[in-house]
Structure 1
Amino acid sequence: MKKNYKLLLLLSLLFSFTAFQAVAQDSEGSLKGTVIDSLTKKPADYMTIALKKDNIVIKTVVTEANGTFNFNKISFGKYTITAVAVGYNAKHVPVELSAKNNPADLGSISVAPQVNNLKEVAITADRPIIKQESDRISYDIQADPENKILTALDMMRKVPLLSVDGEDNIKLKGSGNYKILINGKPSGMVSRNPADILKSMPASSIQKIEVITTPPAKYDSEGLAGIINIITNKKIDNGYNGSLNLRMQGPVGGPGIGGFATIKEGKFGATVYGGTGFWSSPATQRTTTRVTTGDSPTTLFNDGNRKFNNNYRYGGTELSYEIDTLNLLNAELNPYGGYNKQTVTQFSRLFDGTKHTNYDLLSKNRFGWGGFDASFNYQHGFKDNKEHLLTFSYKYSNSRNPQENNLNFSNRENFTDPNYIQNNVSRSLEQTMQVDYVHPVKKLNIEGGLKGILRKNSSNFEYQSFNSATGAYETDPSRTNNFDNHQDVIGAYNSYSYALGSWNLKAGVRAEGTIVKANFVSTGSNVNTNYFNVIPTASFSKKFKNSSSINFGFTQRIQRPDIETLNPFVDRSIPNIESTGNPNLKAVLSNNFDLTYSTFKKGSITVGASYNFANNTIQQVSVYNEQDRTTRSTYLNIGKDKTLISNFNVNYPISDKWNLTVSGNVGYKWIQGAIDGSIVKNSGFTGYAYMNTGYKFEHGWKANGSFNISAPQVMLQGQSNTYVYCNFSGSKELIKDKLTLSAGISNPFSKFRYYRLTTEGANFKQTYLGENYNRSWNVSLNWKFGQLKDAIKKNQRSINNDDVKSSGSKSGK
């Protein structure tokens, strides 16, 4: 009964704001009108209508199919109505709302088409909010009145095809397989800690957010679900601004701090950002069971606890110097680092039908990471057109990832393996040179470029076992080696974009040659692999008069293995269960088709379907060996994947203060591969559903609730389980537009969640069950300061390395 009262109280607090809608305000009224084309005399649909007071936009709506618009609950006073859309001149209409003139009917508002459709409306916040192109959807942050009070992460909840759950995880069409770029280039800070960075970035410093569903040829040919490109403001205003965020989360989590500051003086600008924090968890249970068949059937049972403590540190600075109106220099420096410490206690029992093998294990593991990124860009413009550009770029990246596993056994029964220590230090060095050229010719835009990437990955791993006779640890040469992997990529691209009325066409081709050389230094053996690929890409879009459009795209993409999947280091931190990389892996070529329909009126609705297939995908394969009773996992190019998926996104403003977002996808995946000469097949439904609703109360109060559910992940030898998540949060502006206090609770109805992973082979079935804290709370304080409205001017073309496929595993997750 007590739990029922708590549940009732929580739901009442979350949804009580609906009662506010019924309260009438004596000093409020409504405005309405109809927009028509001055030439055709037909209604002008999909036109943004901005309500301005004292030249400040306070609210925007989009006209209906019949050209009508309506503003409700508007305080009495004098306003200006501005109607604007691509291809039309902006129309400004003054209006006064009072008790005598309520509702205020503006009647028919005529808007005139522009003589030159290539020109853009230059009035801030008077542009269409959402724009659909053949290969992307863009959300104009500066056209949204809330850009002055929200963060970049908050704005992402509004962008079609994007969703943000209660843990601030960003999804593109329900998938986490995407790339985040800042002004068209990767950022080490954002890629490793996107939520922390975007929460400290004010939305007012962003021009627009692009969701690129069919990456054009200028992007490296990595098989992404899409690209999120955050374009910051390029206007130059002297001054400074910044923000500081303090936060705390428990019982899993810890304290954190992040900040962001920008200064602009004359031709010079600088941005500095950084943060640090801790992420810890009390002990939670981990269980592994394995049943094997064959001549010597066995049963393995591991049961224990794991606790961990993480620390992350990130920072960076961006420098800009505008030599003159046609020449611009940019530089970016990004150090980062951190570690994950784990302590595992485990009881293990192996039964082979005749005897038991038992032991207790104490394992102390440490995973570290750290590195430094630097990039330099020079951009030259031409007087004939501001989009006519020539850019030279260089990027340097150096990272280090040490790992240590220290295993000690006790209470042994029929178990003779010695205590041992594993050390592995992997390093990555990458240098990139690139030149890009953009040449617009009337309605045709031509792009071309050259790129070279020089990568060097190394791994120095050592195995030391305890010698009870000498009382010291001794190196085992058979399990110790040095591994170097060199990967050089040379690429060139050429692409074209053409606009013809309501049609927009984009097409291009990218040629890439890859040279791979892997050396086992200690044994003197090597692996060499070279390959060449020509990657086409094409997309088109058609806009209709009812504020909708349809888009189709096709591209081939390459997925190259990263150092985690290539590294031959054998992780023996769990006895009888080992994992390693494979230096013989080759790149994967995938084919991707994407069809999307979008309509934008009062809200936005996007539905789509995609299909992709590949014939040599990299799969993690597990095989049980009867001789030493060990399950070994590695990566092989054996997969044949096919995925058909549909997606949807609805962003609807129920009222001026209440917004609802619903998104998700549902699809089916087929996968097969040959393991030890036998064909293995698996298939199943995949899917993701997300709902978020938020309400803005008076006096700076806000409430938000979200819910999402994910279907099991389908893998070659098994699948995971369903995952459900919910979150409730609220915030209060202590000082308007300056200081905000936020708090929330995640999954209040269950203390733990359980991750189940089942893996099956020809002679074994293995199940892992991991317990994680589900219920958590968080509180944060965000302070914004300064007077700079716009960020530093940046290069429009720069280096973008997104060609590597990761193993998807991160320590401590």
Structure 2
Amino acid sequence: MLTTLFLIGMFFQQDTSVHQLKEIAVKADKPVIKQKAGMILYDVQADPEHTSVDLLHLMRKIPYLSVNADDKLTLKGNDDFRVLINGKPSAMFDRDLKTILKSMPASTIARIEVYTVPPARFDAEGAGGVINIVTIPRIKDEFKGNVNLSGKWPVGGPGAGTSFTWKQGKIGCSVFTGGNYTWNPVSTNVITGSVLNQESQEKSHGRSAYLGLEGSFEPDSLNLVSARFNINKSRMLGNKWISDVGKSTNRNLNSGMDAVVDYQLSGRRNRYRVLTISFRHSITEGELDNSLNTNELSAHENTLQLDYVYPLSGITIEAGVKGIFRDSRSDDFDYTQQVLAAYHAYQFSLGSWSFQSGLRWERTITDTRSYNNFFPNISVSKTFKNQHQFNAGFSQRMKRPGINRLNPFVDRQNPYFIFTGNPSLMPVIVHSVSAGYNIGGKMAGLDYTWLHNADMPVTTYDSSTMVTTSTFANAGDIAGLSAFVYAGFTLTSHLSLNMNGNVIYFWIGKQELLTYALNISTVYNFEKGWKANVDGTLLSKNPTGLQGTSNGMVASSFALSKSLLAGKLTLHAGVSNPFTKYRHSISHTTGSNFYQVSNTQNYFRSFNITMNYSFGKLTGHINKSKTTINNNDLSNGKGI
């Protein structure tokens, strides 16, 4: 805190030179991939498929990321990570990430940043790292827009998305919005094992929508006020039949809202010295209603933050303080939490070496306990004369359980298989060491992550009631040794190929498991604006916790597109998994007194059409505050 006040006091001192960390592009011809110490940047607009696919589909091509058959996104094999929009958190990602990512056209996104060693300015939570989605904001006294219409069947439905940015003089604004209607035809599930056999059928339909607004006002060269507002809603209705139970009607509602105001003040003698004050208010709500029980949940959050960037000759210093105040409520559980934090971070270079380091302190205060933690991080990169680059880093992060995992509400949609939260869950410290090497158009890396007393899914069986209960508990240790590879090739003047793969060896309690994922994408450019895409994905089985695994898959897609109106209009048609109508998703769970196999059959083959239209010019940029609130700090999912 004293150092932060000292830096603020020196805010208006004399001018000094500014140093920027080095960065290297690993693809020579409008690079898709770039890398800095501790992070990967993926240029969505340079991807040939960006005008015809949704954002989730494109993410399977990004290093360190993979998407399974259930559209579950993982970072370094971990589903505990945080997602930001334009460097800031949004309530739209808190409840149903995959639905929002599937409804966002890739054409509305500028780039995706994957932080494998997040800097100290980010909150310490999110074990896997941070994913930052950057929309298209670059305009100057002009406008830029994009409209995307799509349809998918028999699973899926119609969808639309658009983005628009405008700037005139001292005022600028950006809008991105979209929505879709989704139907899921009948799927069947068969559970067999040592204690209970059950069959069920389910179908559902629903709709979702999101809206994001950003605005800025720059009265002069030293002052900047910016604000943003995000809102999203989703509604899913379904019917389910379970043997020995009967029929039920299910309704699931989710919504989120957040609003942020940033004030940025730049130094008179050195505009790179920047002080930012930010305030954020967010609300997340959900409702589950079925024939057996109901539950309503709401979470309110207020955050106040101060950041300061202080460049000196050869080094840039960052410091800040922050307070997060949360109040979460449900039918069965009320929970309050306060997080107070301060951080210091440094960036500097020595010749061809670049360094980034920092230390973050957090004090967490809840209804039942309080605790302090310190989180160091360091990353280093070396650029060689041939433009090859070596990167390495170490970080400590935290898995702090969110309301979804703490809430003791018992979900009895299936009375023989119930889910409940655990209010006694403890936070977990995550340690990670990584290293990587880049050669033009190719990238490889290693990562070792370990954590003790991890909060993992735990399943038990009660023979007296014949009920299987799933919850979370600090049940054991996890470690993972990962290898990642990305490579891009220009095979001919018309044909290009990209490959993204990983191999992860897990130690989960006493269980050991080798997993792998591979995505290969090829693009062939014909004459007169025609283009063909072929994608293939291979996934191994994966762990579901201490007690089980889920099976892998092989997936494929084929598409043809036509560019018109000097590239402004793109028409696309494709088919996914044309050789496989259904996929069987199989999971195995073993306990001390039971063994279960769940086999779910879903539609796998699908057809899609897309129309994408871009308009306006793109030559400048809208100014935004250099720092803002990033509450990337809760693990709320139901996986590991």
Q: Same fold (TM over 0.5)?
A: yes
Say if 1:614 and 1:451 are closer, same or farther in 2 by CA, change over 3 A.
Answer: same
* 2:411 matches 1:571: yes
- Secondary structure at the residue paired with 1:194? helix
Say if 1:168 and 1:199 are closer, same or farther in 2 by CA, change over 3 A.
Answer: farther
Distance 2:490 2:235 in 1: 43
Say if 1:513 and 1:198 are closer, same or farther in 2 by CA, change over 3 A.
Answer: farther
Superposition deviation, residue 130 in structure 1: 5.5
2:498 corresponds in structure 1 to 661
Say if 1:281 and 1:596 are closer, same or farther in 2 by CA, change over 3 A.
Answer: same
2:152 corresponds in structure 1 to 249
Say if 1:342 and 1:126 are closer, same or farther in 2 by CA, change over 3 A.
Answer: closer
1:306 corresponds in structure 2 to 202
Superposition deviation, residue 387 in structure 1: 2.7
Distance 2:42 2:192 in 1: 49
Q: Which has the larger radius of gyration?
A: 1
1:295 corresponds in structure 2 to none
Distance 2:18 2:358 in 1: 27
Distance 2:287 2:49 in 1: 41
Distance 1:166 1:699 in 2: 35
* 2:193 matches 1:343: no
1:559 corresponds in structure 2 to 399
* 2:191 matches 1:288: yes
Q: For 1:485, which of 316, 335, 351 is the aligned residue?
A: 335
Superposition deviation, residue 594 in structure 1: 0.5
Distance 2:457 2:472 in 1: 4
Distance 1:771 1:648 in 2: 32
The answer to whether the 8 Å contact 1:238/1:788 transfers is no
1:378 corresponds in structure 2 to 263
AA at the equivalent of 2:101: P
Distance 2:484 2:49 in 1: 27
AA at the equivalent of 1:769: N
Superposition deviation, residue 734 in structure 1: 3.0
1:111 corresponds in structure 2 to none
Distance 1:745 1:379 in 2: 48
1:194 corresponds in structure 2 to 101
Q: For 2:464, which of 627, 637, 640 is the aligned residue?
A: 627
Say if 1:551 and 1:581 are closer, same or farther in 2 by CA, change over 3 A.
Answer: same
Say if 1:201 and 1:617 are closer, same or farther in 2 by CA, change over 3 A.
Answer: same
AA at the equivalent of 2:465: D
Distance 1:796 1:116 in 2: 15
In the superposition, the TM-score normalised over structure 2's length comes to: 0.89
* 2:619 matches 1:773: no
Distance 2:482 2:529 in 1: 40
Structure 1: state its 5+ residue gaps.
Answer: 1-114, 293-299, 348-358, 407-420, 461-481, 518-527, 673-680
2:364 corresponds in structure 1 to 514
* 2:306 matches 1:435: yes
In the superposition, the TM-score normalised over structure 1's length comes to: 0.71
Superposition deviation, residue 178 in structure 1: 3.9
Which structure is higher in RCO with an 8 Å CA cutoff and minimum separation 6? 2
Q: For 2:527, which of 698, 705, 708 is the aligned residue?
A: 698
Superposition deviation, residue 310 in structure 1: 1.9
* 2:201 matches 1:364: no
Q: CA RMSD in A?
A: 2.9
Superposition deviation, residue 200 in structure 1: 4.3
Distance 1:691 1:145 in 2: 13
Superposition deviation, residue 581 in structure 1: 0.2
C-alpha offsets along residues 394-431 of structure 1, whole Å, 9 cap, x if unaligned? 1111121011111xxxxxxxxxxxxxx31100111111
AA at the equivalent of 2:341: G
Structure 2: state its 5+ residue gaps.
Answer: 1-16
Say if 1:146 and 1:758 are closer, same or farther in 2 by CA, change over 3 A.
Answer: closer
AA at the equivalent of 1:505: F
Task: List aligned pairs for 1:166-565, cutoff 5 A.
Answer: 172=75, 177-189=80-92, 192=97, 193-201=100-108, 206=110, 209-231=112-134, 237-292=140-195, 300-347=196-243, 359-406=244-291, 421-460=292-331, 482-517=332-367, 528-565=368-405
* 2:548 matches 1:718: yes
Distance 1:589 1:769 in 2: 34
Distance 2:444 2:47 in 1: 26
* 2:435 matches 1:614: no
Superposition deviation, residue 262 in structure 1: 1.6
The answer to whether the 8 Å contact 1:336/1:371 transfers is yes
AA at the equivalent of 1:186: P
1:79 corresponds in structure 2 to none
Say if 1:539 and 1:453 are closer, same or farther in 2 by CA, change over 3 A.
Answer: same
Say if 1:630 and 1:167 are closer, same or farther in 2 by CA, change over 3 A.
Answer: closer
C-alpha offsets along residues 275-318 of structure 1, whole Å, 9 cap, x if unaligned? 221111111211112314xxxxxxx2111211011210111211
Distance 1:735 1:648 in 2: 37
Distance 2:232 2:114 in 1: 27
Say if 1:744 and 1:170 are closer, same or farther in 2 by CA, change over 3 A.
Answer: farther
Comparing 167-176 with 360-369, greater Cα deviation is found at 167-176
Superposition deviation, residue 547 in structure 1: 2.0
Superposition deviation, residue 629 in structure 1: 2.0
The answer to whether the 8 Å contact 1:236/1:793 transfers is no
1:415 corresponds in structure 2 to none
Superposition deviation, residue 234 in structure 1: 6.9
Distance 2:128 2:73 in 1: 13
Q: For 2:561, which of 731, 747, 758 is the aligned residue?
A: 731
Superposition deviation, residue 337 in structure 1: 0.6
Q: For 2:623, which of 778, 781, 793 is the aligned residue?
A: 793
